[in-house]
Structure 1
Amino acid sequence: MVRSTVTLPLQQGMRASQSHAHSASAPEESGNGSQMEYVERQLVQTAPRWPEGHHSCVALAFDLDGPTGDAMLNGSIWTNPSYFTLGSYGPWRALGRLLDMLNERRVPATFFVPAWVVENWPDQCAAIIAGGHEIAYHGYRHEAFWTLDRDGQREVMERSAEVFAKYLGMQPVGFRTPSGDWGPDTIRVLMEAGVRYSSSMRGDDRPYLLHAEGIAEPMVEIPGRWELDDYASLAYHRNPDFPASLDRIASYDTTLDNWRREFDGSHRDGLCLTTLFHPKVSGKPGRIALLERLIDHMHAQGDVWLATCRDVAQWWLDNNASGHAQEFSA
């Protein structure tokens, strides 16, 4: 097993084993003044300074999964045309609608795309790049990386790289793990494949750094939030039952209110918000209005840096975020 090191921002530096009482005593132990002074120092350390004086950051991101995933991996999707077309709706129909909406609002976005989708909808995927957006890795057929050994993960990354080069003439630098987790070898596999950032984990409200032993430059992690995953509120399909046990679609007003509240909290504290939206879920005629209103709400703040994940990751590296970090073995 490869020993990896995870670099977390300073506020994450307290070990989970520290007691509440010990944490509460930090101002007195620091010897640097009152509780209020301590809180003010922590806020300065916690809130990043974003480009051009922006107060917070949003990296709008979509997972263009198409019909890939478990049903494709086990072969059942080929006998389930309803489920296949549900997934195909994303690249075939919803994507163009989303790209038009993003263009109208002048918002860049990142699309994490399984390479199988690129093979089967190359023109639609090329339109993402033509629109000034970013495409990043998302497996070949949406494999669960935590179930694959190192060679299996390398095979997925190599095959994906070949597809992106053949159909789009480019190599992504970003990655979002399919199925929400990865194994102990994944960080090294990704770095060896030329990946410079991931948006896969949940460890903070800001980017942080991931290290692999023997590799000098770290990889940036731009953590996502399940609260900003449209599957949680809007996805539904009878057979297969996915998401499992979901038997209703949430109110659109409630869904939008939840998303705006998450943004409001992130913006208030000067943090980085990343979404896990899916064109086949939220790119439909009625639902895309939720995205329009969410983006308009962000624009109304006037000091939000809306950027691709690639640009956020590069800015984080360039500004030496590791200077406010501590390292832990993972």
Structure 2
Amino acid sequence: MDTMKWPEGKRSAVMFTFDVDGDTTWENGNRGLPNGEKYIKSLSVGQYGPKRCVERILDKLEQYAVRATFFVPGLTAERYPEVVMKIAEAGHEIGHHGYAHERFAGQTIEQQIEIIEKSQRIFKELIGHEVAGFRTPSGDWAEETPKLLYERGFRYSSSMRGDDRPYRTVIDGEETDFIEIPTKWEVDDYVAMAYHMYPAEPAGQDRISCYRTVEDNFMREFLGHHKYGLCISYMSHPQVIGSPGRILILDHLLAEITARQDVWIATGSEIADWYRGNHQKEEEK
């Protein structure tokens, strides 16, 4: 297996990301329930993220001088513009996460274009520019989604699961400069610790993971990626990792990883741009 190149001879790369879904996920889930629009407590679970937890996360990132990437649905940006502005003003990257956290799989090409461009207009008005990175909401996209993004100037995605290194996305049979930075369910705080009733997460209501065990899992994944010189993309959600108890998981990860001199901690755009400039296409090797 080829050894990855990282800036200044660093051994591995780490990307801290946060999906600021707000209440969009719960709105989508509630639509399938009788009188779902009336489940105010359910919506409040998502509202807790931008209202309280983002600031806690920003404080931790500032403490350890780490720049992260925040993937934000356009609707969340409309509802919490001051939160998105605060993230951007702190020097972090804003990424695209749909408009209302809708699944791209199953959407027509026209619907996908409308979602992509609508949120880009919101970001340009709010932070002064369109964003370059994308994370597909709810875990999947349609076959044509990468092409639609690439044609509209996106430089990278962090959506897929099929590698532990960045790679060039194949579009119409050819490798492109649209870079994928894969993440994993194993480093997703939502999969490990999200818990709520309407809609039920997890199904069956039989899991609230031990925080110490989750932290141990997250750290072991970092150590494995670091050993082999790979790129790990932590995928977190403010309403989960940003609670008073769980923020300690992030604190411990940041303390351990930033203490190592041979780790490159970067935003999605920085990683994608580095990979694009330092790893040739297969046809050019």
Letter in structure 1 aligned against 2:228: D
Rounded to whole Å, the distance in 1 between the matches of 2:145 and 2:264 is 30
> Tell me, which stretches of 5 or more residues in structure 2 are unaligned?
none
2:202 pairs, out of 234, 238, 243, with 243
Residue 218 of structure 1: how far off its partner (Å): 2.4
Aligned to 2:117, the other structure's residue is in SS state helix
Letter in structure 2 aligned against 1:199: S
Letter in structure 2 aligned against 1:175: F
Q: Deviations over 1:229-253 (max 9, x none)?
A: 0012211002220232342311111
Alignment of 1:126-145 (within 5 A): 126-145=85-104
Rounded to whole Å, the distance in 1 between the matches of 2:145 and 2:63 is 37
Aligned to 2:63, the other structure's residue is in SS state helix
**CA contact 1:77–1:83 (8 Å) conserved in 2:** no
1:124 pairs, out of 72, 76, 83, with 83
**CA contact 2:26–2:42 (8 Å) conserved in 1:** no
Residue 215 of structure 1: how far off its partner (Å): 8.4
Aligned to 1:60, the other structure's residue is in SS state strand
Rounded to whole Å, the distance in 1 between the matches of 2:36 and 2:149 is 28
Partner of 1:14: none
RMSD across aligned C-alpha pairs, in angstroms?
A: 1.9
Partner of 2:143: 184
Matched, 1:205 2:164: yes
**CA contact 1:115–1:164 (8 Å) conserved in 2:** yes
Partner of 2:12: 56
Partner of 1:257: 216
Rounded to whole Å, the distance in 2 between the matches of 1:290 and 1:130 is 25
Aligned to 2:170, the other structure's residue is in SS state strand
Partner of 1:271: 230
> Tell me, which stretches of 5 or more residues in structure 1 are unaligned?
1-41
TM-score normalized with structure 1 length:
0.81
Partner of 2:253: 294
Larger Rg: 1
TM-score normalized with structure 2 length:
0.94
- Structure 1 312/170 Cα, relative in aligned 2: closer, same or farther at 3 Å? same
Rounded to whole Å, the distance in 1 between the matches of 2:200 and 2:61 is 31
Q: Deviations over 1:80-122 (max 9, x none)?
A: 1111111011111100110011001001100000000100100
Partner of 2:72: 113
Residue 216 of structure 1: how far off its partner (Å): 8.2
Task: State, as a whole percentage, how many aligned pairs show the same letter.
Answer: 43
Runs of 4+ in 1 over 6 A off after TM superposition: none
